[in-house]
């Protein structure tokens, strides 16, 4: 029973979150809130809420409906939802059409789509 | 960046948010993550990571074999395959699989233990907490 449960859980998480051949992601789903510090090597998708600090060597995606009230440091940061806090990407920041960023942004490249909202200072890393 | 773009182009592969609409709401904290603080809300939470703090989940919590969690935890169902240290309050059932290592206090109406699981601490079987 245990092994069956484990394989089912892993298959679901892996298939849905990370297609084969890609680094598995972590996900904070809708309905869940994390207050505190998150540090990791992997990609992270936030569909729920995070308050505090996110530090990742992978990519961070704030999905539609996701709300982050935190400082984010990551390789790439993509915002479809809302971020209140300063963000820093080693590579690129992308704010999608419905995305909202209230805070300062530092990155090697910054892409803000039409319809996105950005209130803060931007700084391009060299 | 390339990672996310490549997924969008592949229509056979659902994006993180699209694909999850058909699944139960599932929070996954991967093995390379370290989380400190408080986690609360409704859904299913799977720990493969290290976690230290408090947790109050309406739903199911799974502590996978790679996970190491410490603190106070409150949930409906708690399934343990990894290492847990602290105080558990469960309203339905706690399951300890053979790789589980638990140290602390536990209050639950039902407990299921597999051979090989280790449990050191105090257990209170409390039916009044059953929902």
ipTM: 0.81
| A3: pLDDT strictly greater than 60 | no
A117: in domain: yes
Number of domains in chain A: 1
Other beta carbons within 10 angstroms of residue B62's beta carbon come to 25
Residues of chain B contacting A30 with CB distance shorter than 8 Å: 25, 43
Please report the pLDDT score of residue B31 as a whole number.
92
Q: Can you tell me the distance from the alpha carbon of A79 to that of A75, in angstroms, rounded to the nearest whole number?
A: 13
Q: Can you tell me the distance from the alpha carbon of A14 to that of B5, in angstroms, rounded to the nearest whole number?
A: 18
Helix intervals (H) in chain B: 2-9, 16-20
Handedness of CA B18, B27, B62, A75 (dihedral sign): positive
B9: in domain: no
Question: How would you classify the pairing of strands A32-40 and B34-47?
Answer: antiparallel
B70: in domain: yes
Please report the pLDDT score of residue B67 as a whole number.
95
More confident residue, A7 or A61: A61
B128: in domain: no
Per-residue pLDDT band at A25 (split at 50, 70, 90): confident
Cβ of residue B49 closer than 8 Å to a chain A Cβ: yes
Residues B36 and A36: beta-carbon distance below 8 Å: yes
Handedness of CA A101, A110, A96, B29 (dihedral sign): negative
| A33: pLDDT strictly greater than 80 | yes
Contacts of residues B73-76 at CB distance under 8 Å and 24 or more positions apart, as own/partner, are B75/B45, B76/B131
B67: in domain: yes
Beta bridge partners of A40: A56
* Residues A83-118 pLDDT 10s: 999 999 999 999 999 999 999 999 999 999 999 999
CB contact under 8 A, B3 and A64: no
Per-residue pLDDT band at A23 (split at 50, 70, 90): low
Q: Can you tell me the distance from the alpha carbon of A36 to that of B120, in angstroms, rounded to the nearest whole number?
A: 29
| B93: pLDDT strictly greater than 90 | yes
A78: in domain: yes
Q: Which domain holds residue A47?
A: 23-124
Residue of A nearest to B115 (CA): A2
| Residue from B2, B30, B59, B78 whose CB has the most chain A CBs within 10 Å, to mutate | B30
* Residues B105-121 pLDDT 10s: 999 999 999 999 999 99
Residues B46 and B29: beta-carbon distance below 8 Å: yes
**Which residue from B4, B57, B98 is facing A2, i.e. has the nearest CB?**
B98
A70: in domain: yes
B16: in domain: no
Name the burial class of residue A17, with classes exposed (0-12), middle (13-18) and buried (19+) by CB atoms within 10 angstroms of its CB.
Answer: buried
Please report the pLDDT score of residue B129 as a whole number.
57
B30: in domain: yes
A5: in domain: no
Please report the pLDDT score of residue B89 as a whole number.
96
Please report the pLDDT score of residue A10 as a whole number.
39
Residues B57 and B39: beta-carbon distance below 8 Å: yes
Local structure of B127: helix, strand or coil: helix
A92: in domain: yes
More confident residue, A30 or B14: A30
Helix or strand holding residue A10 (H, E): helix A2-17
Sequence-separated (6 or more) residues with CB below 8 Å from residue B53: A36, B35, B36, B37, B38, B39, B71
* Residues B31-81 pLDDT 10s: 999 999 999 999 999 999 999 999 999 999 999 999 999 999 999 999 999
Helix or strand holding residue A54 (H, E): strand A49-56
Number of domains in chain B: 1
A17: in domain: no
Cβ of residue B36 closer than 8 Å to a chain A Cβ: yes
Per-residue pLDDT band at A19 (split at 50, 70, 90): very low
| B4: pLDDT strictly greater than 90 | no
């Amino acid at each position: 029973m245990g092994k069956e449960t484990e394989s089912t859980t892993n298959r679901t998480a892996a298939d849905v979150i990370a297609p084969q051949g890609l680094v598995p992601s972590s996900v904070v789903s809708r309905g869940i809130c994390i207050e505190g510090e998150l540090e990791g090597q992997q990609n992270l998708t936030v569909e729920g809420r995070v308050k505090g600090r996110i530090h990742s060597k992978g990519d961070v995606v704030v999905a539609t409906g996701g709300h982050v009230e935190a400082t984010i440091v990551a390789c790439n940061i993509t915002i479809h939802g809302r971020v209140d806090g300063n963000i820093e990407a080693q590579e690129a920041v992308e704010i999608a059409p419905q995305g909202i960023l209230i805070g300062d942004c530092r990155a090697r490249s910054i892409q803000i789509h039409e319809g996105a909202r950005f209130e803060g200072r931007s700084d391009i890393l060299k | 960046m390339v990672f996310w773009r490549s997924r969008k182009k592949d229509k056979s592969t659902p994006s993180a948010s699209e694909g999850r609409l058909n699944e139960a709401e599932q929070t996954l904290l991967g093995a390379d993550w370290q989380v400190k603080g408080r986690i609360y809300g409704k859904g299913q939470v799977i720990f493969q990571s290290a976690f230290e703090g408090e947790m109050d989940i309406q739903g199911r919590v799974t502590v996978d074999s790679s996970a190491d969690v410490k603190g106070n935890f409150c949930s409906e169902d708690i399934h343990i395959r990894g290492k847990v240290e602290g105080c558990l309050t469960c309203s339905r059932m706690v399951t300890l699989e053979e790789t589980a290592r638990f140290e602390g206090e536990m209050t639950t109406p039902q407990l299921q233990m597999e051979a090989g699981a280790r449990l050191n601490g105090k257990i209170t079987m409390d039916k009044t907490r059953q929902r």
